[in-house]
Amino acid sequence: MRKAIHSILCVALTVTAVQAQITQPVNADFENWETYNGSIGNTYTEPVDWNSGNECSELINQLAVTQSSDAYAGSSSARLETLTAFGNVKINGLITTATMICSANSGGQEGGTPYTTMIPDSIIGYFKNAPAPNDSAYCQIMFLANNDLDTVSYTRVNFSETVNEWTRFSAPITPAASGQTPEGLSLLFSSSWGDGSHGEAVVGSIFYIDNVSFVAVPQSVNEHYTNSDWSVYPNPATNQVNIKGVSNETATVEFVDVAGKQVRFDVINAGEASISIDDLPEGVYLYQIRTLKGAVVRTGKLMIHP
């Protein structure tokens, strides 16, 4: 048992050490907010180093993004709500690291914040969600290059189910094509679809977001073999992962998340097993296969993606 615990701690320390190779989004725990003077004698707030749709909607005194004391950790989170104006105009609760463009005909966002380190493996965070019928909140992660004209990596995470308690999410980030390196980051959270391609925004959708971060899993952990040859497939996996060894020896496999927490431990009988992973959230996991004598025969990185 001591050996198993030690192996988990070692993986956790390795993952922590590699975080220096990636850049974390600033103020993604949403603790720091700034108050701005509006154009009609009002005021509105935004999380520091983020922009929000409030920059545009304050003109009609509608604020879809607010600071909430209902937080997963710390003292505040970001509360996003889809509102209505003039009877039929939908206003998404929206925060982004990009620049907001306030225009009646071509409003939206452009560009992003500087980001020149490696693209992370996954994004994690905590959320609560109360979508209106037929609506869904979403997160959009875009890594940009060529003065923000090219998108080298695009990932979208959808939140369609009602979640009343703070819940952790984890999602793999699409890697860039070979030779492409990022220059900027556009990270966005919205309380509704609202982009026309997946559906329309529905008034009343509410989304809370807190403690967002990027995770990079070290490539040195990606594959490790001894003389025993074991296969782990498919990878990425959806709802099941298969493990097969050349010999018929019995072994064990443990899976840990990127924080070093053990999420699954299974016995591999006669060198072969099919393991259900339906209960594991989407994201990146590390695994380690050991013989009953304690020898490590394979370690690696497993991505779970529906």
Q: Span 23-215: which CATH code?
A: 2.60.120.890
Question: Can you give the pLDDT at residue 16?
Answer: 41
Question: Can you give the pLDDT at residue 180?
Answer: 83
Residue 227: Cβ within 10 Å count: 7
Rounded to 5 degrees, φ, ψ at 119 are -70, 130
Which of 296, 305, 304 has its CA nearest to residue 257?
304
Q: Cα(300)–Cα(25) distance, rounded to whole angstroms?
A: 27
pLDDT tens sequence for the chain (306 residues)? 333 333 433 444 344 444 447 899 999 999 999 999 998 999 999 999 999 999 988 988 899 999 999 999 999 999 999 998 777 778 889 999 999 888 655 557 889 999 999 898 888 899 999 999 989 999 999 999 998 889 999 988 889 899 999 998 888 888 887 678 899 999 999 999 865 445 678 899 999 999 999 987 654 444 555 445 788 888 888 889 999 988 888 899 999 877 678 899 999 998 899 999 988 888 888 888 888 877 778 888 888 876
Residue 20: Cβ within 10 Å count: 9
Q: Is 236 in contact with 269 (CB distance < 8 Å)?
A: no
Question: Can you give the pLDDT at residue 271?
Answer: 87
Question: Can you give the pLDDT at residue 217?
Answer: 67
| CATH 2.60.120.10 describes domain 218-304 | no
**Structural domain boundaries of the chain?**
23-215, 218-304
Q: Is 155 in contact with 173 (CB distance < 8 Å)?
A: yes
Question: Can you give the pLDDT at residue 104?
Answer: 58
Question: Quick one: tokens of 155?
Answer: 């990932």
Q: Cα(11)–Cα(286) distance, rounded to whole angstroms?
A: 8
